[in-house]
Structure 1
Amino acid sequence: MSDVIELNEIDALADYRADWLRLLRVTPGGTFFRSLEWLQVYWQHFAADQRLRVLMIRDGEQVTGIVPLCVRSIKSKFGVCRILTFPFDDWGSFYGPVSANQTTTLRTALNYIQHARRDWDLIDLRCVDSGGFDRGATEQALKSESVSFERLLWCQTACVDLQQNWDQYLESRSTRARKTYLCSEKRVQQEGDVRYLRYRPRGSGSEEGDPRWDLYDQCEEIARQSWQGRSTTGTTLSHASVAPFFRDAHERAAQAGTVDLNMLYVAGRPAAFNYNYVYEGLVYSLRMGFDPRISVKGAGCVLMGRMIRDSMQRGDRILDIGPGSLEAKQNWYTSIENSYRYVHYSATSVTAKLMQLSHQFADWYRDRFSNESTDERTVTGYSRAHHI
């Protein structure tokens, strides 16, 4: 019979490091974002207004699943709302439990949550790829535990199927996309020697945990010189509010063997970068950019093409180019994948009831005056902004 251990202090998780690593290896769609290393860095930088609730699911003496959660107090038009959610904040595309059996792990966690202290107004599970690696586990668990919910489209991310050869992939692109890439290659090579470098250490366990700060600093400098240096979103590699977080995450990712850093040099100068995390053949493109001070156009395009080709040769499975800006990524992606938000409203919370009525009114209004289908309704405005 399964039982649950709840941990509320980040330091307490270190005792379960071996279990976490073991379970991450068998988690469908596991990524660096679901690792203990990432959660520790995230919590170090963004713990304010959050309370940690990590659930360790055990069968006898063995940990069979981990559900990282937190209670976050956020502002809504109805006042402060407490949500029980993943400690993720949309840094990547998808998130979920760390377990080989997602449904059983979530069922046990939801059963525990319903009988434990009620310190939340909403259960709000976001970035769930219900049609992908999740395979409907979240929805099945909610239904099995009789937890009422609403499902809303949260975001869409662009993906590249890497399980093909480069010639097949290039042939599948539109005529315009192929021409753009091939012309960029020709134009860039006219500027001088072109060199592509990919740094993917295997981790400290294989004596390859060097962060290569020289390469990371080049990425940060390119970001600073590009439009990202003027961005006020607080999410770019060089932005003062998150640069320390990115650097700490980079160091831990290098030690864990999940860094995938790509650089393009033109005439000996760093011209473009693509900074990724990689785990079990799943590559997530965290940030990318090119240096506008270099006169040649198309360096970013060349880097993307060479990176995709190299990933195919390495045997990688999927490249997630990330959510948003889908039009700018249309030359590259082979599919658009959805992530969803599952919301349960506490029956004892006035704030939750008011928010539920507000969401229902919004749905009614869209049904009456919009052509959107239910699955097309996207809830936005929360990501790292603490709004609902």
Structure 2
Amino acid sequence: MQVIEINRVEELGEYARAWDSLLEQTPGASFFQSRQWLAAYWRHYGATQRLRALIVVENDRPTGILPLTVLTEKTKVGRLRFLTYPLHNWGSFYGPTGQYPPAVLRAGLEYVRQTPRDWDVLELRWHGGVSGETYDAGAAMTAAGFPPYRTVWDRTSIVDIVGTWDDYCSTRKSAWLRRFHAAERKLRELGKLEYIRWRPAGARLGDGLPRWDLYDACERLAAKTWQAEAKNGTTLSDDPVRGFLREVHEAAAAGGAVDVNLLTVGGEPAAFIYGYHWRGCGYGLRRGYDPRVAREGAGNVLLEYTLRDSFARGDSVYDMGIGSLESKRHFQSRLAPIFRYSHIPPGAVRAQPLRLKRWWQSQRTPSFTAVGRVQDFAADSR
């Protein structure tokens, strides 16, 4: 077995075909693990990071890819260098690509252990999955010589697309159903309702155009929502991320991974849910609506339409994403934990207070009634 380290994103083009093939073999994979995502992310945010993409090769053939980055973050003990995944909270879950992710993770980290340490904290965030953890990342890290502390990084709202739409509705409270029908009636009084869902098949099948008309409609609605006034600058229309998200959109459309949901009232865009999908798993990246119809519940009506259509399409799960959990609780089937695995070596002197903190947080790791089903937990502070 051999591990090849790539530090320039341009050099990953040599492994494009292998990456695409490995992603198709990866259990529970998402668009965020694609080479297209990493290339776009790195062009916009890689200037202050160091790429460490590890290609695992067996018998002259790539069998796995472990994308890592070294980035500096401000902590209570000062600025520390973290070796982690290049996701930055854009998605819920991440991990190595390949048919056997734990083997890829172990091989990649064994290689890291043999190289000069350019990091203070090895912290693999965003582990888990929409159906729970598919493998023991902690065991793979321990086998590679990096025993970790496992803590909860965050939570995400999951809708299980199981059975029929009627089955799902039977699990909702009757008051929820009444509110939806009342909101739908109010919106119909304002004009004809039209629900548009666009999922291109991808460039390989001759259906990879980005449909900028739909994306621009979502972007204009994003500029009208209250989120546009937030200081974090992460809505579709915000200048700090606008160019990045448009580039990702074009790549996702070509890859057949875009999921655009748009509700029009009287022919005018009223609400949107923008995200990605991969092998039956949908992910809602951003939502927004026109404030003029917000009081009538346009956002929730669109979410209901989106979920109903997901049942009709035969999807398996819909991840509504982290944050705003209160507004999603009426729709969710469950909350799924997003795990963080942290290893702080003794030689990283300045990071030792963080090691004690991660140990303390790990002692508060909640109990689970089943894989991915949490009994009671809250995300730990960073």
Per the normalisation by structure 1, the TM-score is 0.92
8 Å contact 2:155–2:379 — kept in the other structure? no
Letter in 1 for 2:37: W
Write the mapping of 1:111-150 to structure 2, written as runs, cut at 5 A.
111-129=110-128, 132=131, 134-150=133-149
1:239 is the counterpart of 2:234: no
Any idea what SS the aligned residue of 1:53 has? strand
Partner of 2:27: 28
CA distance in structure 2 between the partners assigned to 1:199 and 1:130 by the alignment: 25
8 Å contact 1:162–1:317 — kept in the other structure? yes
8 Å contact 2:152–2:365 — kept in the other structure? no
Give the gaps of 5 or more residues in structure 2: 368-376
Partner of 2:251: 252
What is the CA-CA distance between 1:222 and the residue it aligns to?
0.6
Deviation per residue, 1:225-245 (Å, 9 max, x gap):
111221211211111111111
What is the CA-CA distance between 1:15 and the residue it aligns to?
0.7
What is the CA-CA distance between 1:296 and the residue it aligns to?
6.3
Q: Measured at CA, do residues 131 and 229 of structure 1 come closer, stay the same or move farther in structure 2, by a change above 3 Å?
A: closer
1:153 is the counterpart of 2:152: yes
Letter in 2 for 1:114: R
8 Å contact 2:342–2:358 — kept in the other structure? no
Any idea what SS the aligned residue of 1:242 has? helix
What is the CA-CA distance between 1:73 and the residue it aligns to?
1.6
CA distance in structure 1 between the partners assigned to 2:201 and 2:296 by the alignment: 33
Q: Measured at CA, do residues 363 and 61 of structure 1 come closer, stay the same or move farther in structure 2, by a change above 3 Å?
A: closer
Q: Measured at CA, do residues 213 and 130 of structure 1 come closer, stay the same or move farther in structure 2, by a change above 3 Å?
A: closer
Deviation per residue, 1:14-39 (Å, 9 max, x gap):
11010110011111111110000000
Q: Measured at CA, do residues 295 and 55 of structure 1 come closer, stay the same or move farther in structure 2, by a change above 3 Å?
A: closer
CA distance in structure 2 between the partners assigned to 1:272 and 1:373 by the alignment: 38
Which stretch has the larger CA shift, 224-233 or 333-342? 224-233
Letter in 2 for 1:275: Y
Partner of 1:102: 101
Write the mapping of 1:298-337 to structure 2, written as runs, cut at 5 A.
298-337=297-336
Partner of 2:349: 350
8 Å contact 1:264–1:303 — kept in the other structure? yes
Which stretch has the larger CA shift, 342-351 or 92-101? 342-351
Any idea what SS the aligned residue of 1:139 has? helix
What is the CA-CA distance between 1:295 and the residue it aligns to?
7.2
8 Å contact 2:151–2:358 — kept in the other structure? no
Q: Measured at CA, do residues 317 and 110 of structure 1 come closer, stay the same or move farther in structure 2, by a change above 3 Å?
A: same
Q: Measured at CA, do residues 260 and 377 of structure 1 come closer, stay the same or move farther in structure 2, by a change above 3 Å?
A: closer
Deviation per residue, 1:339-367 (Å, 9 max, x gap):
1110001222212223223545x659xx8
CA distance in structure 1 between the partners assigned to 2:357 and 2:196 by the alignment: 51
8 Å contact 1:261–1:273 — kept in the other structure? yes
Which stretch has the larger CA shift, 190-199 or 293-302? 293-302
Q: Measured at CA, do residues 293 and 359 of structure 1 come closer, stay the same or move farther in structure 2, by a change above 3 Å?
A: same
Partner of 1:185: 184
Letter in 2 for 1:241: P
Deviation per residue, 1:285-331 (Å, 9 max, x gap):
00011101347611111111111111111111110000122111011
Any idea what SS the aligned residue of 2:240 has? coil
Write the mapping of 1:1-388 to structure 2, written as runs, cut at 5 A.
2-129=1-128, 132=131, 134-294=133-293, 297-360=296-359, 363=361, 376=377, 378-381=379-382
Partner of 1:384: none
8 Å contact 1:209–1:257 — kept in the other structure? yes
What is the CA-CA distance between 1:133 and the residue it aligns to?
5.4
Give the gaps of 5 or more residues in structure 1: 382-388
8 Å contact 2:130–2:317 — kept in the other structure? no
CA distance in structure 2 between the partners assigned to 1:109 and 1:246 by the alignment: 29
Letter in 1 for 2:332: Y
Partner of 1:386: none
Q: Measured at CA, do residues 130 and 331 of structure 1 come closer, stay the same or move farther in structure 2, by a change above 3 Å?
A: closer
CA distance in structure 2 between the partners assigned to 1:26 and 1:35 by the alignment: 12
8 Å contact 2:40–2:247 — kept in the other structure? yes
Partner of 2:370: none
8 Å contact 2:258–2:276 — kept in the other structure? yes
Any idea what SS the aligned residue of 1:293 has? helix
8 Å contact 1:196–1:265 — kept in the other structure? yes
Identity of aligned residues (%): 38
8 Å contact 1:220–1:238 — kept in the other structure? yes
Any idea what SS the aligned residue of 1:182 has? helix
